[in-house]
Amino acid sequence: MYQLEEKIWFWALGIIPIIILFFLVLQFWRYKAQNKFADKKLLKRLSPNRSVFKGALKVLMLSLAFFCLTIALVNPKIGTKLETVKREGVDIVFAVDVSKSMLAEDIAPNRLEKSKQLVTQIINNLASDRVGIIAYAGKAFPQLPITTDYASAKMFLQSMNTDMLSSQGTAINEAIKLSRTYFDNQEQTNRVLIIISDGEDHSEASAEVAEEASEDGIRIFTIGVGDVKGGPIPEKRNGVVLNYKKDSQGETVITKLNEETLQEIANEADGVYINGRNTNEVVDSIGEILNAMDKTEFEAKQFADFKDQFQWFLGFGIFFLLLDVFLLERKTAWLKKLNLFNENL
């Protein structure tokens, strides 16, 4: 496991293309000036030991030096020890709808991206709770098991899209069933399932399955994304809308937020329905609900004893700088004999 302590210094890498651009401009200017002064044969006689390749090599050394020094300023750290710690929290599983209807843009930027924003902000406000992620459409797919690694959770979340599941439709009951396998029956933790969807459920069994989940101690909270007035489903290529999804009669499909279904599922599992239009209100509501729950102690493994690694990059940076200083743009005698760069031609 690694950490990057001062990520802001990555901007300094912008110096490298400036160095290369300056070198190319200088070479072009030098080439034009030399052509005005004399032809190639005369220039070669006047400066027989000048090396074009070593000039480029000097720029390479300087670029590598700046790269290493920048990474040294970022100060990467490596976790050298994995230890078990005691934490208190709630087990939370997020079930994110990735059906095609989530591409509707009746809520900016679209329903799926809004769902990702909501889950990300909820995770950002957690303290020591464990999280898991499920993706579902016509079927449910385990995306991330219960973990305390929030960074991984957000990474998996951002990779979710409407093409990841071949089975289309919206079967919320499948997501609820899969969530029941996420929780460890040996650990008596508070269990929460948060369903983020537009509520267009193509199964009539969701409320019944939600009631069964409630009997297992799972509280289900639903977050609705979209607009009750609905919107068309765009079909895009390279970000450009080509058409809108049509039904078998050739009519444009209008997908609407179904709050009634989501409210019914939440009511069956001792939960609450929340409209997802306002991100801050959703995060505050979920935060209040989780804070009111009893926290259960559990064990979690995490990396500790992070050690600085900047000194390696600092050393290499100084090494490349010294090489650049002592590397002359003249041909070296023994390299000239080897003629590695065909400079004698």
Phi, psi of 185 (to 5 degrees): -65, -20
Question: Which pLDDT score is estimated for 40?
Answer: 62
Note the CATH architecture for domain 83-301. 3-Layer(aba) Sandwich (3.40)
Report whether 73 contacts 12 (CB < 8 A): yes
pLDDT classification of 231: cutoffs 50, 70, 90: very high
Our CA dihedral for 6, 8, 13, 14, rounded to 10 degrees, sits at -170
Which ranges in the chain belong to alpha helices (H)?
Answer: 15-37, 40-46, 52-74, 111-124, 150-158, 172-179, 206-215, 259-268, 279-291, 310-326, 333-338
Asked if pLDDT for residue 334 goes beyond 50, the answer is no
Question: Which pLDDT score is estimated for 287?
Answer: 93
Q: If we measure between CA atoms, which residue out of 197, 187, 173 comes closest to residue 115?
A: 197
Report whether 173 contacts 207 (CB < 8 A): no
Would you say the pTM of this structure is higher than 0.85? no
Helix (H, G, I), strand (E, B) or coil at 136: strand
Q: Which two tokens stand for residue 42?
A: 């005369």
* DSSP-derived pairing of the beta strands 234-237 and 240-244: antiparallel
pLDDT classification of 82: cutoffs 50, 70, 90: low
Average pLDDT estimate for 321-336: 65
Domain locations along the chain = 2-75+309-338, 83-301
Question: Which pLDDT score is estimated for 285?
Answer: 95
Question: Which pLDDT score is estimated for 341?
Answer: 47
Helix (H, G, I), strand (E, B) or coil at 84: strand
Number of H helices, E strands in the chain: 11, 13
pLDDT, tens digit, 9 for 90 and up, residues 293-317: 877 665 555 555 567 788 888 999 8
Report the mean per-residue pLDDT for the chain: 83
Average pLDDT estimate for 33-41: 65
CA–CA distance, 295 with 88 (Å, rounded to integer):
5
For the CA atoms of the chain, what is the radius of gyration?
30
HSE-CB for 302 with a 13 A CA cutoff? 17
Report whether 203 contacts 171 (CB < 8 A): yes
Percent of the chain at pLDDT above 90? 45
pLDDT, tens digit, 9 for 90 and up, residues 201-226: 767 788 899 999 999 899 999 999 99
Percent of the chain at pLDDT above 70? 81
Asked if pLDDT for residue 41 goes beyond 70, the answer is no
